[in-house]
Structure 1
Amino acid sequence: MARYAHQPFAASTPPELAGGGRARYPVAIVGAGPVGLAAAIDLALRGVPSVVLDDNDVVSVGSRAICWAKRSLEIFDRLGVGRRMVAKGVTWQVGRLFHRDRELYAFDLLPEPGHRMPAFINLQQYYVEQYLAERCADFPDLIDLRWKNRVVGVARAEDGVRARVETPAGSYDLSADYLLACDGARSAVRDLLGLDFAGRGFEERFLIADVEMKADFPSERWFWFEPPFHAGQSALLHKQPDDIHRIDLQLGPDADPEEERKPERVIPRIRAMVGDRPFELDWVSVYSFQCRRLERFRHGRVIFLGDAAHVVSPFGARGGNGGIQDADNLAWKLALVLQGEAPAALLDSYDEERIRAADENILNSARATAFMTPKSEMERVFRAAVLDLAADHDFARRLVNSGRLSRPCALTGLSLQSPAPAAPGLLAPGVACPDARLADDTGAATFLLDHLGDGFVLLAVGAVVVPGEAGLPVLRVGAGGFGDPEGDAAARYGEALYLIRPDQHVAARLTGASVEDLRAALARARGERL
């Protein structure tokens, strides 16, 4: 029996059916999963109202996405749920890789100190959705969260979008300036618009099971190639809260999904892996995965995020994390456009930047699949040689691919970033800001990312000059600003002046720049010079 008790959300009659409601919403969001809820909260923090439409009235069934990366946790923290997630989740940063019954090597995903957020936590998706939905309630005047509201029609126009919505109380039409499609891999909005979801499917099938048991497995990622308990295939083990353990077992392309998810098939496989200890099945699924994406994520005033825009395999934790970073990339841009502070062309940079990230994720996922499921004798010989060498040689370890774990995509060289020459010890425009441990004027500990805010900020590290009349808030570290007691900021940023975007990416490096240089960089980052 599932450990998590799903409590339905109240589905009230929409105001459009009760003689009220807005004539038009700035933003309509389809899908109340992690991506849609994160987008609604981010917009609310910027003063932008939205209506969120979901065809269900409960959070996700089964743990689904569980691995949340450091960058996503930093975004969640800005949205107000990150520390709650870390408190509940299982923190980890070490992965171990095995071949048959031998450990080949271990790796550490966050070897340096001085970050508020850990490398990863494991936390079931239903908790993430619950926390986000509860956070939405803090914005009663800005987030209208509607359960049991199914979008069945979408009509686009030059100046907005009209959605047809079905509810238990009847159907209604809803108009919005923009519609965000966050409705998952089987996106109804994508289908309604007849958009091609190009890519490839993989025939390989995997069993995914959440198992409740008392066990002394450490909080680490364990991956096996050809383990003795599951000969010839691969296996993955992760620890989750509530004594739940995630187990993935490769089944091969000929496995029958209906048969393989039956308890009499699943239980012997789990017992062979975990030994003769008591356990209960919490959730079971059999899946094959795809790597696909839309050609474009922005279609006029309809914009796609998360799995509605792109899907990858679960190995590497790139799906959920990629979707959260989509919302983080889009919300500030959309808010500036809606508030008349940036041209609509700024939204084209969402396509440019997040398509790069999606392609990076798809490439890594496809390569992981090829390594995990060799299709030819040559591929099998290559993998066997790599695994044999990986126990003793670093170069071979770099060739092992059991799912390259999610990292933020660098936006270097794309249109919003001001070019800057490469400089050792300084950050390049386009990278996500690394955190750093700081001290305030009382000596109390704090962290750099906590002080970047939700708008453009100038970050001055060391004794650098800030151009006069900058017109932006300045976060100074060292030289009369926040203390850098362990040298974290100096080590990660050098001595430099940076223009930081609202999504905590470097827009420009401005050491020695004039006010005119700063204004030009800001105009570029706002999409005014595209």
Structure 2
Amino acid sequence: MNLPGYPYHQTLEQRSGQPQRRPVVIVGAGPVGLTLALDLARRDVPVVVIDDSDRIGEGSRAVCWAKKTLEVFDRLGVGEAIARDGVRWQRGRVFHGEREAYAFDLLPEAHHKMPAMVNLQQDQVEARLARAAQLDGRIELRGRHELIGLEQDSDGVTLNVRTPDGLFDMRADWVVGCDGARSPTRSLLGLSFQGQVFEDRFLIADVRLAPGVRPRGLDPARPERWFWFDPPFHRGQSVLLHAQADGLWRIDFQLGRDADTEAERDAGRIKARVAAMLDSDGFELVWSSIYQFCCRRAERFRVGRVLLAGDAAHQVSPFGARGANSGVQDADNLGWKLAAVLRGEGSDALLDAYEFERIEAADDNIGHSTRATDFISPKSALSRRFRRAALDLAARTEFAKPLVNSGRLSLPSAHVDSPLSTPDADPWAGGPGPGCPAPDAPLDGGGWLSERLRGGFALLAFGWPVNVERLPVITLPGEGLAATRYGARPGSVVLLRPDGVVAARWHRFDADAVSAALLRAHGRPNE
């Protein structure tokens, strides 16, 4: 597909030398920055997005987009296209040598609008987000605008920006750094990036197969995630295989800590590795990269009027698809809070809650990624023996399967200790509690619950309708699939936040309790 650019042009404030104050300036036009811009625009918040490039990034990079992320994209108008054009999958298989150790299903229950996972190259996802942003008059996308200075006071933030026409200043109420792992925003804030850098090196190869060639017998009509420990075609290491859109296949080869990076970049050497895996030379090498990865985060996600999201705030290993997905969920968490603060509906404490919740999510993701990396790349003889025993046992026993860790796949984090949540007053037999993500469900009249949750607060009423001033109420049956997923019974009500998180729930409607929970969810618990 043709990838859209955002060419540089000189703006009025450059020509006049007078900064124009903006409600929000986003630094970085990757998937996180564009998601946040689209979210804010749909809340009628004008946004300027600046990026030091003027085009979509090259290469597939992030590939797997999880169900929660797809639901965010769907609310922003691009989810159905991404789900349609990508490769849907939910089943994975893990091999030890050539023997299957175990298999898993990410979404064993039916009746969800979005699939468990869709594989679509990052440049294509970015292209759809960028086009949507360019069609929205509330978003200004500026290419070749490099952030080089940042100063803030109690009234706003001044950004010093370098362009082909020289330096100029911008002024904003709020700034969000979505500018990647080498984030200039984070550096200008003086924040440390704390965590672990792993020494192992990995090779990514995107290949297009000739007609009739199948990777190790995998059926392209039933795509799955395949992961090998110690395969016969790459002894002593691991390999990961994913189907992508446009007939591409993503292969990750573990190279080890002592790999000669320059030698491994040689196209002939890469092709030899791929040919050994496919047992065929019937393929085209489309793109490749060698990487090391980190599991780390910034010490703060908020400094005054400047916030961080995505890789600027945290990094994880690619095993488990937690990086880009977590970044999009940062944007989903932040957009409604920032808009509420700008409108005066929410207190400044909402942005502290963003930092609290997303640091909690980052630490959860870092923990999962670190454990997966330690299993994939054992550092000691004892760790290697444990891994071999777990893999051998997993093929024969159920209890050992959870011990095998090839990267726990991305799931939205639960914010059970969030200051925005109202704790349960009554016991519930199941369903998501306060701070947990809300599940989708089909509606009796057709359509999906996720389609009714369009980025605002909503009250789910199970069994009969209720009325709350200025709060949308969605009436659902007191029995059935939706009630089961929410642990509800006739008379139950569930308050949902704009980012699809449960804020509070009761088994009996009480207007005063709902109003108090709404105030708390807006960061105003004492009003």
What is the TM-score with the length of structure 1 in the denominator? 0.94
Bigger Cα displacement from structure 2, 390-399 vs 421-430: 421-430
Query: Shift of residue 57 of structure 1?
Result: 1.2
Q: 2:511 aligns with which of 515, 519, 522?
A: 515
| Matching residue within 167, 170, 177 for 2:166 | 170
For 1:448 and 1:7, locate their aligned partners in 2 and report how far apart those are by CA, in whole Å: 33
1:233 corresponds, among 233, 237, 241, to 237
Name 2:280's counterpart in structure 1. Answer: 276
Alpha-carbon separation, structure 1, partners of 2:373 and 2:476: 44
2:471 equivalent in structure 1: 472
Structure 1: how far apart are the matches of 2:520 and 2:108? 35
Deviation at 1:510, TM superposition (A): 2.4
Q: How many angstroms does 1:20 deviate by?
A: 8.5
Residue 492 (structure 1) aligned with residue 497 (structure 2): no
Which residue, 100, 105, 118 being the options, matches 2:97? 100
> What is the alpha-carbon distance in structure 2 between the residues aligned to residue 22 and residue 144 of structure 1?
15
Q: Is the 8 A contact 1:413 1:419 kept in 2?
A: no
Q: Which of 190, 204, 224 is the equivalent residue of 1:208?
A: 204
1:429 is aligned to 2:429: no
Measured after TM superposition, the shift of residue 167 of structure 1 is: 1.2
Change (3 A) 1:511 1:21: farther
Matched AA of 1:12:
H
Preserved CA contact (<8 Å) 2:61 2:122: yes
| Letter paired with 1:132 | L
Identify the residue that residue 443 of structure 2 maps to in structure 1: 438
Question: Which residue pairs with 2:132 in the alignment?
Answer: 135
Within 2, Cα distance between the matches of 1:179 and 1:197? 19
Alignment-derived partner of residue 459 in structure 2: 458
Match of 2:43 among 43, 46, 49: 46
The 2-side partners of 1:426 and 1:73 are apart by 22
- The residue number in structure 1 matching 2:498 is 502
Does the 8 A contact of 2:4 with 2:130 survive in 1? no
> In the TM superposition, what is the alpha-carbon distance from 1:255 to its structure 2 partner?
0.7
The correspondence for 2:140, drawn from 121, 140, 144, is 144
Specify the code of the residue in structure 2 equivalent to 1:114.
H
Alpha-carbon distance in structure 2 between the residues aligned to 1:164 and 1:471: 41
Equivalent position amino acid for 2:483 in 1: A
CA contact (8 A) 2:369 2:407 kept: yes
- 8 Å Cα contact 2:191/2:300 also seen in 1: no
In structure 2, the CA distance between the partners of 1:528 and 1:144, relative to structure 1 (3 Å rule), is same
The residue that corresponds to 2:247 in the other structure is 243
Q: Structure 1 residues 276 and 469, CA, compared in 2 at 3 Å: closer, same or farther?
A: closer
Paired with 2:409 and 2:4, the residues of 1 have a C-alpha distance of 32
Instruction: Tell me what 1:254 maps to.
Output: 258
Distance 1:515 1:461 in 2: 15
Alignment gaps of 5+ in structure 2 = none
**Aligned-partner Cα distance in 1 for 2:178–2:308:** 6
| Gaps in structure 1 of 5+ consecutive residues | none
**CA 1:7 to 1:413, structure 2 compared with 1: closer, same or farther past 3 Å?**
closer
Bigger mean CA offset, 74-83 vs 449-458: 449-458
Which deviations, in whole Å up to 9, do the C-alpha atoms of 1:142-180 show, x marking residues without a partner? 101001111111112122111111111222100000000
Q: 1:446 is paired with a residue of what secondary structure?
A: coil
- Runs of 4+ with deviation above 4 angstroms: 4-7
CA distance in 1, matches of 2:50, 2:260: 35
1:5 is displaced (CA, Å) by 5.5
Q: Does 1:528 align with 2:524?
A: yes
1:112 to 85, 109, 112: 109
- Aligned counterpart, 2:87: 90
Q: Residues 462 and 490 of structure 1 are in contact (CA less than 8 Å); yes or no, is this contact kept in structure 2?
A: no
Map 1:66-81; keep pairs closer than 5 Å.
66-81=63-78
Identical positions, percent:
53
2:496/2:504 contact within 8 Å kept: yes
Q: Look up the match of 2:191.
A: 195
The whole-number CA distance in structure 2 between the counterparts of 1:477 and 1:310 is 38
CA distance in 2, matches of 1:229, 1:71: 35
Structure 1 residue 427, shift from structure 2 partner: 2.8
Deviation at 1:193, TM superposition (A): 2.1
Structure-2-length-normalised TM-score: 0.95
Partner Cα separation in structure 2 for residue 424 and residue 30 of structure 1: 44
What's the CA shift for 1:377? 1.3
Would the aligned equivalents of 1:14 and 1:146 in 2 still touch at CA under 8 Å? Answer: no
Verify the 8 A CA contact 1:226 1:232 in the aligned structure 2: yes
**Alignment counterpart, residue 12 of structure 1, candidates 9, 13, 38:** 9
Rounded to whole Å, the distance in 2 between the matches of 1:180 and 1:489 is: 36
Judge conservation of contact 1:59–1:129 (CA < 8 Å) in 2.
yes
Q: Distance in 2 between matches of 1:492 and 1:528?
A: 30
- Cα deviations by residue, 1:263-282 (Å, 9 ceiling, x for unpaired): 12111111001121421111
Q: 2:180 aligns with which of 155, 180, 184?
A: 184
Equivalent of 1:336, from 309, 319, 340?
Answer: 340
Aligned to 1:404: 408
Q: 2:306 aligned to 297, 302, 307, which one? A: 302
Which of residues 365, 372, 396 is equivalent to 1:368?
372
Structure 2 CA distance, aligned partners of 1:519 and 1:194? 40
Secondary structure at the aligned position of 1:401 is classed as: coil
CA–CA distance in structure 1, aligned partners of residues 132 and 5 of structure 2: 17
| Alignment-mate amino acid for residue 307 of structure 2 | I
Q: Given the alignment of the two structures, is residue 160 of structure 1 paired with residue 156 of structure 2, yes or no?
A: yes
Whether the 8 Å CA contact 2:156–2:305 is kept in 1: the answer is yes
Q: Distance in 1 between matches of 2:350 and 2:67?
A: 27
2:3/2:124 contact within 8 Å kept: no
The answer to whether the 8 A contact 1:11-1:148 is kept is yes
3-state DSSP of counterpart to 1:438: coil
Matched, 1:377 2:381: yes
